[in-house]
Chain A
Amino acid sequence: MTAVHDEVLSFDEAMEKYDPALGFEVHVELNTRTKMFSSAPNGFGDTPNTNITPVDLGLPGVLPVVNRVAVESSIKIGLALGCKIAERSHFARKNYFYPDTPKNFQTSQYDEPIAYDGAIDIELADGTVFTVEIERAHMEEDAGKLTHMGGATGRIQGAEFSLVDYNRAGVPLVEIVTKPILGAGRRAPELAKAYVAAIREIVKNLGVSDARMERGNVRCDANVSLMPKGSTTLGTRTETKNVNSLRSVEHAVTYEIQRHAAVLDSGAAIVQETRHWHEDTRSTTAGRPKSDADDYRYFPEPDLVPVVTNDAWIEKLRSELPEPPAERRKRLQADWGYSDAEFRDVVNAGVMSSVEDTVAAGVSPAVARKWWMGEISRRAKIADVEPAELGVTPELIVELNALIETGKINDKLSREVLDGVLAGEGTPAEVVEARGLAVVSDDGPLLEAIDGALAAQPDVAEKIRGGKVQAVGAIVGGVMKATRGQADAGRVRELILQRLGVEG
């Protein structure tokens, strides 16, 4: 594959000259038991082409029937996004030829979506709030999965043929479309990431989607265009398809802003087209020219009758909605007594629910935060996983904390105990026992270690005797090393000073 590298402007320069406009189409796969229009299981990772019925293959003579739960989940998403719910909406055929749909059309909604005209508040890392207006949320079905074979890279370029698995074909989707988002300026990439994170949080909180981006449960198409500073006319946009991690969303928007700026600076025009995002090179390449809606020749799906809602149905679904994420955050922060900065850090680290569970299990909010923001986040970063995925349970933290509070172990040892528990060596108490990790509290061995450390560093001992008490740290360090961290550092300090006859 010959890579064509587009010119890009630095982000700073792009921001000096242009204002970005964003728009997102986020596809959410619902976690219903069955598909949108057939009774085939909605599963992940099953044997290819087994979760299908004749409806999913578009065989002659089949009749689709709408999944009631999928409609209700879609209405819930609409309500959670502050949308109006259509009194009457219907399905439409979106016609296109590609092997990912065996019917040669995707059943979608066109002029009458189930939900429209909503808005959600997006909070950025520093607390700034942007309101993103929602144009519509409509119901549709997912497509099959193509694997391109032959060719060197496994990509479509150079492929000799493709293999298709239709297990995913017909899985219920809700596509959420924003209105153009203006005014984000240099925070556009950050807002893009925060928006997709918010949608993921909302649908997960609603329980209508597993919301796992790595499985494609939430997928984002990001539209970017630039306007020269001071202009109010939207520029030509590009649509970067299937940007499927939060990090990629941020990077893709940044890259497209820089690329657009370079094209516009050179005096050329932006081509309205889809772009493919490549995580490895952190760049996009041109896809197909964007089709006009006309080219899809939408028409009302004759096999499916309209969805007609009424107040009683909508209010029943509204009453089933969980506490909205923003309100939940407010309540938790008040309950825990965290400062704004402390709370934001917890949210941004993705450990709010973990802290909530840990507090519920019986430790103080401060202790829960110490664990999740400290040791557990540190380990998650090294392992490159989410903190919640490390397998640390609230009960484990409660037990570790009890061992610390009773003086059995100290903070440093608790990390080693955690190692042991995560390695499957048993409960914290068992690990302490098996690894011999209890704090040395008997002064005898400590005094022996202190004498050793003083003898090893006579110059430091002399300084301390001379009144430079702050030099004691070097001796404490030596003792901790000699006792493999199993001493209580505060007690060691006391004993050293006693030994040297110096007032602490």
Chain B
Amino acid sequence: MAEINREDVAHLARLAHIDMSSEELDRMAGELAVIVDSIKSVSEVAGDDVPATSHPIPLSNVYRDDVVGETLSNEEALAGAPDNADGRFKVPAILDGE
């Protein structure tokens, strides 16, 4: 059984900005442990000679030319925003970020 404890779930929930109740944390710790175990079984099949796969389709180098295309108008850009001011998205002040 994988080691996913309640603190791990609480930490992940905080990173993902998901509000979870105490009961949910307990339940998810158990469920996530099962999920992690299931995924682990993949490594039993893939040995050291199998490279890690990030993309299932063998495709590379898909590029776009550096040419300006169509853009949204300011009104269109803000159309889906909960709030705006001065042509900009209005968001709650959040202390410190990247």
Which residues of A pack against B, CB within 8 Å? 32-34, 38-41, 47-54, 57, 59, 65-71, 88, 90, 95-102, 106, 143, 146-151, 156-157, 159-166, 287-288, 295, 297, 300, 302, 304-308
Given known pairs A143-B98, A295-B15, the reply for A49 and B62 (CB within 8 Å) is no
Contact call B77/A52, Cβ cutoff below 8 A = yes
Closest Cβ neighbor of A54 among chain B residues:
B72
Q: What 3 pairs across the A-B complex have the smallest Cβ distances?
A: A39-B69, A300-B54, A98-B97
B21 at the interface (CB under 8 A from A): no
Q: Given the complex, which residues of A lie within 8 Å of B89, measured CB to CB?
A: 49, 99, 102, 163-166
B88 contacts which chain A residues (CB < 8 A)?
Answer: 48-49, 147, 163-165
The closest CB in chain A to the CB of B61 belongs to A308
From A57, which residue of chain B is reached at the shortest CB distance? B77
Does A164 lie within 8 Å of B91, measured CB to CB? Answer: yes
For this complex, 18 residue pairs linking A to B, each with C-beta atoms less than 8 Å apart, are A39-B64, A49-B78, A49-B87, A49-B88, A50-B73, A52-B77, A67-B63, A68-B65, A90-B55, A95-B15, A98-B94, A102-B89, A106-B98, A162-B90, A164-B90, A295-B15, A305-B57, A307-B61
Q: A53-B72, A159-B93 are in contact. Are A65 and B77 (CB under 8 A)?
A: no
Residues of A within 8 A of B78 (CB): 49
Minimum CB distance partner of B85 in chain A: A163
Known: A65-B64, A68-B63, A68-B66. A156 touches B93 (CB 8 A): yes
Q: Are B68 and A41 in contact (CB under 8 A)?
A: yes
CB atoms of B17 and A97 under 8 A apart: yes
Q: Are B71 and A71 in contact (CB under 8 A)?
A: no
A-B contact count, CB below 8 Å? 150
List chain B residues, Cβ under 8 A from A52.
71-72, 77
B47 within 8 A of A: no
Residues in B with CB closer than 8 Å to A50 are: 71-74, 77
B21 CB, nearest partner CB in chain A, Å: 20
Q: Considering the chains assembled together, what is the distance between the CA atoms of A96 and B57 in angstroms?
A: 28
Query: Which residues of A lie under 8 Å from residue B42 when comparing CB positions?
Result: none
Contacts of A47 in B (CB 8 A): 74, 87
Which residues from chain A contact B55 at a C-beta distance below 8 Å? 90, 300, 302, 305-306
* Set of chain A residues within 8 Å of B63, measured between Cβ atoms: 65-68, 71
B86 CB–A CB distance under 8 Å: yes
- For residue B95, CB closer than 8 A to chain A, the reply is yes
B64 to A68, Cβ gap below 8 A?
yes
Given contacts A163-B86, A165-B89, A304-B62, 13 further A-B contacts (CB under 8 A): A33-B66, A48-B74, A53-B70, A65-B63, A66-B62, A69-B66, A71-B63, A96-B98, A156-B93, A163-B85, A163-B90, A165-B87, A302-B54
A39 and B73 alpha carbons, distance in the complex (Å):
14
On whether the beta carbons of B54 and A34 are closer than 8 Å, the reply is: no
Closest to A156 in B: B95
- Distance to closest chain A CB from B90 (angstroms): 6
Chain B residue numbers with a CB within 8 Å of A143 are 98
* A147 nearest in chain B by CB position: B88
Asked whether, in the complex, the Cβ of A162 is within 8 Å of the Cβ of B64, the reply is no
Q: Counting CB contacts under 8 A, is B41 at the interface? A: no
Q: How far is the CB of A158 from chain B (nearest CB, A)?
A: 9
Instruction: For residue A75, give the distance in angstroms from its CB to the closest CB of chain B.
Output: 13
Cβ of B87 and Cβ of A48 under 8 Å apart? yes
Of the candidates B68, B91, B96, which one forms a contact with A156 in the assembled complex, judged by CB atoms under 8 Å apart?
Answer: B96
State how many angstroms separate the Cβ of A401 from the closest Cβ of chain B: 43
B91-A99 in contact (CB<8A): yes
Bound complex: CA A208 to CA B74 (Å): 29
B50 at the interface (CB under 8 A from A): no
- A-side contacts of B73, CB under 8 Å: 50
Q: For A156, what are the chain B residues with a Cβ–Cβ distance below 8 Å? A: 93, 95-96
Query: Known contacts A106-B98, A162-B93, A162-B94: does B80 contact A59 (CB below 8 Å)?
Result: yes
In the complex, residue of chain A having the shortest beta-carbon distance to the beta carbon of B75: A49
* Cβ-closest chain B residue relative to A102: B89
Distance A50 CA – B17 CA, assembled complex (angstroms) = 29
**Quick check: is B22 within 8 A (CB to CB) of the other chain?**
no
Taking CB atoms, residues of chain A closer than 8 Å to B65 are 68-69
User: Which residues of B sit under 8 angstroms from A151, Cβ to Cβ?
Assistant: 93
Q: Are A161 and B64 in contact (CB under 8 A)?
A: no
- Provided the pairs A160-B93, A164-B91, A295-B15 are in contact, do residues A39 and B77 lie with their beta carbons within 8 angstroms? no
